[in-house]
Chain A
Amino acid sequence: MACREAALALLATEDDGARIANHGWPRNAGMALDTGWVAEQRVNLSASERRVATLPGRRTVKKDAQAAWLLKAVTCIDLTTLSGDDTRERVQRLCAKARHPVRQDLLDAMGMGDRSITTGAVCVYHRFVSTAVEALEGSGIPVAAVSTGFPAGLVPHDVKLREIEASIADGAREIDIVITREHVLTGNWQALYDEMRDYREACGEAHVKAILATGELKTLRNVARASLVCMMAGADFIKTSTGKEGVNATLLVTLTMLRMIRAYEERTGIKIGYKPAGGISTAKDILNYQFLMKEELGREWLEPDLFRIGASSLLADIERQLEHHVTGAYSAFNRHAIG
């Protein structure tokens, strides 16, 4: 409890914009693979659907509270570009936006002008890690690299490990790995555990987010089991998707993954972070994710050390909502700087 308060106090006072993954919480060392625990997972689809369908009717935030929650969401965004046509200039522009995600006049109007509001991280392919590190220098904003043959994860295992090492050498402080979906779909938990352990080891001090590609695992039971195995193998975060699957983040898989995070904490006392990615593009969407985080896991999971949002267009919608909150008039995209 004291630990938690200290961490929150730190967050409240720390205005230098530093966003260091998992500060305040002990890092996940992992545990031995417990296949019995994996096998006993049960997830009822209809009951899960009912929970996520009714939550927006049970929780909402209005006015100042809404503005605050949206600003908090901004601090959790892993501002991302993962396109084939990415260039150095494109990444620099993104990093500039990460430093100043919301117009200063709007922050001033909300009484938040003295807070340093930045995104949680910038997320790029390995090729642009050094560009981003340079562009973000002094901001405290970490660079995350997608890795291990992102997005399909089907390159040779040793190549994956070399890719992680290369990104870390370039300055990445967070690595978003993709799991081999085949291991889940064939129930080969040992193989999944082993590969995840290797990734974790390769990451060293860098924090590792395990992308499950939930859209390809199909069932919530698969999602639950894969979540557990990755946490046992030392993942710091579990993440829904690459953004490249047919179905990416949903509230439904979020519910399942959050409950696994909770079960893991029940068993080990360790807090694992969560990152939904892909498909979250409106302010309204992200509020529902935040409600789910707070309700299923608690207040701590609303901060960027335990919550990240993989998104590219979400920020623009939040900016419009914030301007509406300040002025009372509906906003337009072109009134906010491009990212």
Chain B
Amino acid sequence: MSVAPMSVARYFDEMSYGPAPEADGEARQWLASHKAEFGHFINGAFVAPQSGQHFETLEPATGALLAKIAQGNAADVDAAVASARKAQGAWAKLPGHARARHLYALARMIQRHARLIAVIEALDNGKPIRETRDIDVPLAARHFYYHAGWAQLQETEFADQVPVGVVGQVVPWNFPFLMLAWKVAPALALGNTVVLKPAEFTPLTALLFAELAAAAGLPAGVLNVVTGDGSTGALIVDHGDVDKIAFTGSTDVGRIIRERTAGSGKSLTLELGGKSPFIVFDDADIDGAVEGVVDAIWFNQGQVCCAGSRLLVQAGIAPLFHRRLKRRMGTLRVGQPLDKAIDMAAIVAPVQLSRIESLVAQGVAEGASLFQPDIELPKGGSFYRPTLLTEVQPTSIVATEEIFGPVAVSMTFRTPEEAIQLANHTRYGLAASIWSETIGLALNVAAKLAAGVVWVNATNLFDAAAGFGGKRESGFGREGGREGAYEYLKPKAWVGRKPRPAATAPVLKSTTGDFAMPAIDHTAKLYVGGKQARPDGNYSRPVLSPKGKVLGEVGEGNRKDIRNAVAAAQGASGWTSATTHNRAQILYYIAENLSGRAGEFAERIAAMTGASASAARAEVEASISRLFTYGAWADKFEGAVHQPPLRGVALAMPEAIGVVGVVCPPEAPLLGLISSVAPLIAVGNRVVVVPSEPHPLAATDFYTVLETSDVPAGVVNIVTGSAMELGKTLASHNDVDAVWAFGSAELSTMVEKLSVGNLKRTFVDYGKAIDWMNPAAAEGRLFLNRAVDVKNIWIPYGE
């Protein structure tokens, strides 16, 4: 069939969209000005890679070569880190206002060069120009504006914090420029310097940004860009002079980074994968929700960590919803990235395309029903049809694995409870969308979803003021908002801590008694699920005074005791939903009952530790005060109401992490325990506590205080025994959501290393001593911030 050339008449008859290409002349000119070959950007200038090696970055839409990119090796990374280190002191010493001026200049610079950045991003990544032009680049500029503000306010708002130092940042290929902004803006604003590694597939906008930033007056060394593959990223992660790693990418790589940095003292922010639910209730605006799916899973070809990839549709409306969704899919247009009249463009690379194809094939083999609209795809390049898989069972790989492509899987549910259950039944916890016109239903579900971000009747909304980040294996740390700023700060009170002095274990002396009236034997037990329990192994260990006198015996807790304690803590979820007033009352009540036995606890501390009577008494008094502190915080540690650029609000709600394992420091047997347990339970966590290994009797005495203080069963569980052994079980337990461990450096390393199973949050001291008596170092927000994950619930409104 011969096809007539397009003409006004033919368009008039067909009413089709013609090509609408965005010009790429300026972008090509920029590449040409670099002879399409780039070095690293180190210390304010492009430098050739030490190895002399380059790799190629291609246009995903055509496979054509865009440029040759430097392959970073150890010498390159060393040079970049050294440059960042050299600049960091001077950069941090600048007044906040001076850094604010720099950040402001970067924001303005992005706006001045917005189209160039957008076009290069679209060419390099393969995503539609609409997204880079209307979403990625404006949001990036917004992040620099927003963080210029934190720089300006740093001295007043973060007076008790200091910058972390040199930050290594590894960003992914799906939002190369936006992720750069999310990472670079807060780091620089708060006085850190950066070594950034853009993704191998998409390095160009980072290089352009570095060049433009230098032109905008950013001092040399403050921002360094080293390009390369995964091995270059690993060199940054492993580098001894990097203080923090911020990574966005796959959960698998996030796990490797956690493991490699374990015990190094590097702070870590991980923004990982997701399999985010998109829940449609039968009272939703169905057409609105269908359009929501378009924004959820066909945004950026579905290569979005928070993509709403799991559709959960209420059974009664499922046929209608799927019918309308399929119709809508038929009107999606897939085309060249620079075409201004498309919805989707290219998948980033052939390797990703084949991964998508193979996962979908497997899903179909496992019984899913496949729908792909009969629409035109461009010839050549990496393109994939928008895809819907229905009749998917939760057991299927497409229901559990992140496909990272334009593939939605759909399941149905019967009741809101079942929707929540299905939604939360995943290892991930990044984002969720809820579609319902009933406010009570939508907000109730929002509160119950395990996700860092929840959108009500919306999806994929972002703003610099609202923190973004996940729960569970979607990673930890937040980007944006006040909570995101803390990721690039550390407490002043913890600067310069000394290693904990090594304690010499006392030697057992003779235990022979005499003929005086003996004390009645008192058997200290474990405390699990609100009951005193004998240890599973039924072994005991002696507790000695510094002089070697036996003060008593405690149970030798083992793996099974930890298992039981975790089960009890998981069962005590009522504590998490208890009112803050209720939790505050109980913390005060614990303090009251402890106060009534202050003398006894002081004597016990003195006997175990050899502390003076007055020092022991001071520890008890500090413990009582600390309980009051967290009783006070319990109903005051509140979230924020963000005002993102829409008619609506985003509620930043601090939520309990869940079940937290606590390994108490060897010193301060009572205060060390209270300092961890009180903040955790104040905000609704349930804890499994391993008390001070050498001095556990304060903890076993303490459970009788808990018993008299109306603490519900399972909220605090105490397992005595070896800190390392029990800490190991806690750190590797996949139903424990976080571990706090204070003690030896080996303990910190082990806990961080073993936390990778479910990527639990960890809070450790790397063997550095904490002055528990000093409130600035041992209580308040410093601990509370670690006891919660912030959930941002976006609620657009209007009728």
Residue of B285, B342, B458, B647 near A58 (CB, 8 A) is B342
- How big is the A interface, by class? 35 or more
Evaluate contact between B8 and A112: CB separation under 8 angstroms.
yes
Evaluate contact between A71 and B12: CB separation under 8 angstroms.
yes
Evaluate contact between B9 and A60: CB separation under 8 angstroms.
no
Residue ID in chain B nearest A46 by CB atoms: B796
Evaluate contact between A50 and B295: CB separation under 8 angstroms.
yes
Q: Is B15 an interface residue (CB 8 A)?
A: yes
Residue with the greatest number of chain B CB neighbours at <10 A, chosen from A50, A54, A302: A50
Q: Which residues of A68-101 have CB atoms within 8 Å of chain B's CB atoms?
A: 68-69, 71-72
Residue of B7, B331, B341 near A64 (CB, 8 A) is B7
B282, chain A: closest CB distance, angstroms: 9
Q: Which of B17-25, B181-189, B198-206, B229-237 contacts A (4 or more CB under 8 A)?
A: B17-25
A107, chain B: closest CB distance, angstroms: 9
Known: A46-B798, A58-B343, A221-B799. A302 touches B457 (CB 8 A): no
B566, chain A: closest CB distance, angstroms: 42
Evaluate contact between A57 and B9: CB separation under 8 angstroms.
no
Evaluate contact between A42 and B283: CB separation under 8 angstroms.
yes
The 4 closest A-B CB pairs, nearest first, are A65-B18, A68-B11, A47-B288, A46-B796
Known: A61-B20, A221-B799. A42 touches B437 (CB 8 A): yes
Residue ID in chain B nearest A110 by CB atoms: B8
Residue ID in chain A nearest B288 by CB atoms: A47
Residue with the greatest number of chain B CB neighbours at <10 A, chosen from A66, A68, A69, A220: A68
List 28 interface pairs A-B (beta carbons < 8 Å), by A numbering. Answer: A11-B13, A42-B286, A42-B288, A44-B284, A45-B798, A46-B458, A46-B798, A47-B285, A47-B289, A47-B292, A47-B458, A51-B291, A57-B340, A58-B130, A58-B343, A61-B11, A61-B20, A61-B341, A62-B19, A63-B18, A64-B6, A65-B11, A65-B18, A68-B9, A110-B9, A111-B7, A111-B8, A115-B9
Bound-state Cα–Cα, A48 to B437, Å:
13
Q: Is A12 an interface residue (CB 8 A)?
A: yes
Chain B residues closer than 8 Å to A112, beta-carbon distance: 8-9, 12
Chain B: residues with Cβ within 8 Å of the partner, total of 45
Bound-state Cα–Cα, A51 to B18, Å:
22
A7, chain B: closest CB distance, angstroms: 13
Residue ID in chain A nearest B646 by CB atoms: A46
Chain A residues closer than 8 Å to B17, beta-carbon distance: 59-61, 65
Known: A47-B291, A64-B7. A12 touches B457 (CB 8 A): no
Q: Is B134 an interface residue (CB 8 A)?
A: yes
Q: Which residues of B765-799 have CB atoms within 8 Å of chain A's CB atoms?
A: 796-799
Q: Is A247 an interface residue (CB 8 A)?
A: no
Bound-state Cα–Cα, A44 to B287, Å:
9
Bound-state Cα–Cα, A47 to B797, Å:
10
Known: A42-B437, A47-B288. A59 touches B15 (CB 8 A): no
Q: Is A4 an interface residue (CB 8 A)?
A: no
Bound-state Cα–Cα, A66 to B6, Å:
12
Evaluate contact between B15 and A44: CB separation under 8 angstroms.
no
Interface string of B331-342 (1 = CB under 8 A from A): 101000000111
Q: Is A295 an interface residue (CB 8 A)?
A: yes
Chain B residues closer than 8 Å to A43, beta-carbon distance: 285, 288
Residue of A62, A219, A266, A299 near B15 (CB, 8 A) is A299
Evaluate contact between A42 and B284: CB separation under 8 angstroms.
yes
Chain A residues closer than 8 Å to B797, beta-carbon distance: 45-46
Residue ID in chain B nearest A255 by CB atoms: B287
- Give the B-binding residues of A (Cβ under 8 A): 8, 11-12, 42-51, 54, 57-69, 71-72, 110-112, 115, 219-221, 259, 262, 266, 294-295, 299, 302
Chain A residues closer than 8 Å to B287, beta-carbon distance: 259, 262
Chain B residues closer than 8 Å to A42, beta-carbon distance: 283-286, 288, 437
Chain B residues closer than 8 Å to A51, beta-carbon distance: 288, 291
Residue ID in chain B nearest A259 by CB atoms: B287
Chain A residues closer than 8 Å to B10, beta-carbon distance: 68
Q: Is B16 an interface residue (CB 8 A)?
A: yes
- Give the A-binding residues of B (Cβ under 8 A): 6-13, 15-20, 130, 133-134, 283-289, 291-292, 295, 323, 331, 333, 340-343, 435, 437, 457-458, 646-648, 796-799
Chain A residues closer than 8 Å to B11, beta-carbon distance: 61, 64-65, 67-69
B129, chain A: closest CB distance, angstroms: 9
Residue of B12, B435, B457 near A115 (CB, 8 A) is B12
Evaluate contact between A61 and B18: CB separation under 8 angstroms.
yes
Residue of B13, B16, B20, B796 near A62 (CB, 8 A) is B20
Chain A residues closer than 8 Å to B331, beta-carbon distance: 295
B295, chain A: closest CB distance, angstroms: 7
Chain A residues closer than 8 Å to B9, beta-carbon distance: 68, 110-112, 115
Chain B residues closer than 8 Å to A61, beta-carbon distance: 11, 17-18, 20, 341
Evaluate contact between A60 and B8: CB separation under 8 angstroms.
no
Bound-state Cα–Cα, A271 to B341, Å:
27
Chain A residues closer than 8 Å to B647, beta-carbon distance: 46
Chain B residues closer than 8 Å to A49, beta-carbon distance: 798
Chain B residues closer than 8 Å to A67, beta-carbon distance: 8, 11
B330, chain A: closest CB distance, angstroms: 9
Chain B residues closer than 8 Å to A220, beta-carbon distance: 799
A102, chain B: closest CB distance, angstroms: 12
Evaluate contact between B18 and A62: CB separation under 8 angstroms.
yes
* Apart from A44-B437, A57-B133, A111-B7: 9 A-B pairs, beta carbons within 8 A: A11-B13, A42-B437, A44-B285, A46-B798, A60-B340, A60-B341, A65-B17, A67-B8, A72-B15
Chain B residues closer than 8 Å to A66, beta-carbon distance: 18
Residue ID in chain B nearest A11 by CB atoms: B13
Residue ID in chain A nearest B437 by CB atoms: A42
A241, chain B: closest CB distance, angstroms: 20
Chain B residues closer than 8 Å to A221, beta-carbon distance: 799
Evaluate contact between A50 and B291: CB separation under 8 angstroms.
yes
A201, chain B: closest CB distance, angstroms: 32
A154, chain B: closest CB distance, angstroms: 26
Chain B residues closer than 8 Å to A294, beta-carbon distance: 15
Bound-state Cα–Cα, A51 to B16, Å:
21
Chain A residues closer than 8 Å to B457, beta-carbon distance: 44, 46-47
Chain B residues closer than 8 Å to A46, beta-carbon distance: 457-458, 646-648, 796-798
Chain B residues closer than 8 Å to A111, beta-carbon distance: 7-9
Chain A residues closer than 8 Å to B292, beta-carbon distance: 47
Residue with the greatest number of chain B CB neighbours at <10 A, chosen from A44, A50, A68: A44
Bound-state Cα–Cα, A112 to B9, Å:
6
Bound-state Cα–Cα, A68 to B295, Å:
30
Bound-state Cα–Cα, A16 to B437, Å:
50
Residue with the greatest number of chain A CB neighbours at <10 A, chosen from B283, B342, B796, B797: B796
Residue with the greatest number of chain A CB neighbours at <10 A, chosen from B285, B295, B457, B796: B285
Bound-state Cα–Cα, A220 to B437, Å:
13
B113, chain A: closest CB distance, angstroms: 20
Bound-state Cα–Cα, A13 to B130, Å:
37
Chain B residues closer than 8 Å to A58, beta-carbon distance: 130, 333, 341-343
A288, chain B: closest CB distance, angstroms: 13
Known: A46-B647, A299-B15. A68 touches B8 (CB 8 A): yes
Residue with the greatest number of chain A CB neighbours at <10 A, chosen from B15, B331, B341: B15
A28, chain B: closest CB distance, angstroms: 21
Evaluate contact between A68 and B799: CB separation under 8 angstroms.
no
Evaluate contact between A12 and B342: CB separation under 8 angstroms.
no
Evaluate contact between B12 and A72: CB separation under 8 angstroms.
yes
Chain A residues closer than 8 Å to B16, beta-carbon distance: 65
Evaluate contact between B15 and A302: CB separation under 8 angstroms.
yes
A103, chain B: closest CB distance, angstroms: 15
A254, chain B: closest CB distance, angstroms: 13
Bound-state Cα–Cα, A66 to B288, Å:
29
Residue with the greatest number of chain A CB neighbours at <10 A, chosen from B12, B19, B288: B12
A141, chain B: closest CB distance, angstroms: 18
Chain B residues closer than 8 Å to A8, beta-carbon distance: 13
Evaluate contact between B15 and A69: CB separation under 8 angstroms.
yes
A65, chain B: closest CB distance, angstroms: 3
A39, chain B: closest CB distance, angstroms: 11
A113, chain B: closest CB distance, angstroms: 10
